[in-house]
Amino acid sequence: MKNFLVHSEETIQQMCKVVGVRSVEDLFEQIPVSVRMDKLDLPDGLSEMETQRLVKNIAKENKSDYITFMGGGIYNKFVPACISQIANRFEFSTAYTPYQPEISQGTLQVMYEFQTMICRLTGMDISNATVYDGGTACAEAILMACRISKKMKACVLNSLNPEYKRIIETYAYSQNIQIDWVDEIPQNVADYACVLIQTPNYYGEILEPVKNEDCLLVVCTDVSTLSILKPPSEYGADIAVGDIQSLGIPMNFGGPSAGFVACKEKFMRQLPGRLSGRTLDNDGKQAFCLTIQTREQHIKREKATSNICSNQALIGLCATLYLTVMGEKGFYQAGYLSTLQAHKLAKKLQAKGIKVLNKNFFNEFTIEVDNADEFLSHLESAGILGGIKLDNNKILVATTEMITDEDLEKYIQAV
């Protein structure tokens, strides 16, 4: 990579002449002098070698060797090394919107395979090729249900991920949709466009939603749990949503991730985002293209299902590679180990007198302690991120297949 060269004084004068000013400073005349910064307080310049040494020394101050029991939507899952090697190929990392299918067959096929895998996992008829994240998927599902039912109210369980709740509130506010947050689903739901429930919920509890014919049922799920748990279709879900971070996506300090929206076939015209379809070309060969184009870039804005103008295709690619590499047996084994370690830890904590608040859980559960800050501080001093503080007494604890029996013992000894 060549070193960056700033504009020469001659070039600067030419640009100023074109825009009609005498100097760069004249561009800022509108800004009061009192709020301007004379100069940046920066150290003297360093050579590239000196800069690398400085950055490496700063990086050494990071503590990255913690054993993590944190979850809440982002999980420390095993990521096969081949995924990043394949996903980082320039054909994928430089790919843009596949408007021209004749030169985008690889990207479109990956999107199609992703959709197929999501349908197999959720039991739904059709899926889109990702949205921004799980929270966006929840919000889009509510908007979708309102369009289908012509009702402007939705019922959402309070046990939903708090980040998802904030995204829903933002979307609903702009669309004048009323959101009723409830602890339990009311008996009369006829006035609602949909009921949205997360299982396992944010606190780790596995719920069994019951389909009510008076409104649509939206089930939010962590797809990694579907290696063992029932798919949303068996709950009678009309729409299934979720986040795919647990499908081979590194934690990355909380993002980026991606979400999905899947539904019954009869609702496919209301499905937001991109969809890739498979067909045959004039020569009878398999071909892929964007289909059922309901985005505002393709049709009249007032008829568009969403203003989502992009998707998380690269992360969807990683998830597709992960499921392909792991296979059904590997996917099941990862889920089995995750839940096995969680139940082992829960029993060990109960043996030490710590209360576990869940009745049924997968790989995540909530505990009650005397002082959450003190509890987590003891663990952190032992090199363990012990969970997410929910309040002064409650902590959300998660395990994955990355947690060993030795890690469990270290957790218990540090408590």
114 plus 250 within the same structural domain: yes
Query: Total domain count for the chain?
Result: 2
User: pLDDT tens digits for 13-58?
Assistant: 999 999 999 898 888 888 898 888 878 888 888 899 999 999 999 9
Taking only the tens of pLDDT, the chain with its 415 residues reads: 456 667 888 899 999 999 999 898 888 888 898 888 878 888 888 899 999 999 999 998 888 789 999 999 999 999 999 999 999 888 787 666 677 777 888 889 999 999 999 999 999 999 999 999 999 999 999 999 999 999 999 999 999 999 999 999 999 998 999 999 999 999 999 999 999 999 999 999 999 998 999 999 999 999 999 999 999 999 999 999 999 999 999 998 888 899 999 999 999 989 988 889 999 988 999 999 888 875 555 566 666 777 665 668 889 999 999 999 999 999 999 999 999 999 999 999 999 999 999 999 999 999 999 999 999 999 999 999 999 999 999 999 999 999 999 999 999 999 9
Looking at residue 2, what is its pLDDT?
Answer: 52
The CATH code of the domain that includes 231 is 3.40.640.10
Residue 223 located in a structural domain: yes
For the chain, what is the radius of gyration of the CA atoms? Answer: 25
Residue 60 located in a structural domain: no
292 plus 381 within the same structural domain: no
Residues 6+ apart with CB under 8 A from 104: 95, 98
Residue 374 located in a structural domain: yes
332 plus 299 within the same structural domain: no
3-class DSSP state for residue 220? Answer: strand
Residue 48: phi and psi, rounded to 5, are: -60, -40
Residue 97 located in a structural domain: yes
Residues 6+ apart with CB under 8 A from 64: none
Task: Name beta bridge partners: 242.
Answer: 221, 260
Q: Which range marks the domain in which residue 289 is found?
A: 81-320
Mean pLDDT score of the chain, rounded to an integer?
91
337 plus 381 within the same structural domain: yes
Instruction: Please tell me the distance from the alpha carbon of residue 182 to that of residue 186, in angstroms, as a whole number.
Output: 8
Q: Which of 295, 320, 345 delimits the end of a domain?
A: 320
182 plus 72 within the same structural domain: no
214 plus 284 within the same structural domain: yes
Residue 414: phi and psi, rounded to 5, are: -85, -15
Contact 214, 191 (CB under 8 A): no
Per the structure block, which two tokens stand in for 7?
């504009």
259 plus 399 within the same structural domain: no
Residue 100 located in a structural domain: yes
244 plus 279 within the same structural domain: yes
The CATH code of the domain that includes 351 is 3.90.1150.10
- What is the number of alpha carbons within 13 Å of residue 355 lying toward its C-beta? 8
Per the structure block, which two tokens stand in for 411?
């957790």
Q: DSSP for 251-316?
A: -GGG----EEEEE-GGGGGG--S--EEEEE-TTS-EEEEE-S--BTTTS-GGG-SB------HHHH
Per the structure block, which two tokens stand in for 185?
């689903």
187 plus 246 within the same structural domain: yes
Q: Which helix (H) or strand (E) holds 318?
A: helix 313-351
Per the structure block, which two tokens stand in for 111?
């999107």
269 plus 392 within the same structural domain: no
Contact 398, 73 (CB under 8 A): no
Looking at residue 1, what is its pLDDT?
Answer: 42
Per the structure block, which two tokens stand in for 14?
């030419």
Q: Which of 286, 320, 354 delimits the end of a domain?
A: 320
Burial class (CB in 10 A: 0-12, 13-18, 19+), 227: buried
Tell me the CA distances in angstroms from 174 to 143, 155, 168, 169, 299, one per residue in order. Answer: 11, 17, 10, 9, 21
Q: Which of 280, 305, 320 delimits the end of a domain?
A: 320
Looking at residue 134, what is its pLDDT?
Answer: 96
294 plus 384 within the same structural domain: no
314 plus 383 within the same structural domain: no
Strand-strand pairing, 178-182 and 153-157:
parallel
